[in-house]
Structure 1
């Protein structure tokens, strides 16, 4: 059982220095609002395995999303720089990248 499921979580929110998963691997480009499957193309956008930027970066966040999905919990990666981010998410506002990877 995943930790998210052990605490009865419906959603894992990971706050980051960027808005979510972006269309370019350097963190620029446009926001990808939804991901249904983490494959090699998504991993490449995160910096990919072996990248100098992947220590504690987006690759680690993708791994957390995959672990949460094992417990049937969606994940949102969003900017922690927004003042009321958690309130906005709780209100249902579509912010960041939502990973709906449930099998």
Structure 2
């Protein structure tokens, strides 16, 4: 979709929609929102809706960073301690590695 062809109020609506949808455990939408609307928020000449778009872009970026940190932390902990957790780790694993007792 080409944002340059959209009206400013539709850009704000779309940016707000992506931000709110990110709360449904879809942090990828926050990432898309922060990248897709970055130019609109920070590089375009000022217009009425830009201030609110900027707010949603910043909050989406913060949400993306927090979710990335949480996922990296969980993946690291799980990979380091999977063998120690025994059957519980096997139950929450999608693929069970062979060769580890």
Instruction: Normalising by structure 1, report the TM-score.
Output: 0.26
Q: Which one has the bigger helix percentage? A: 2
Highest relative contact order (Cα 8 Å, sep 6+), 1 or 2? 1
Q: Which one has the bigger strand percentage? A: 1
Q: Which structure is larger by alpha-carbon Rg, 1 or 2? A: 2
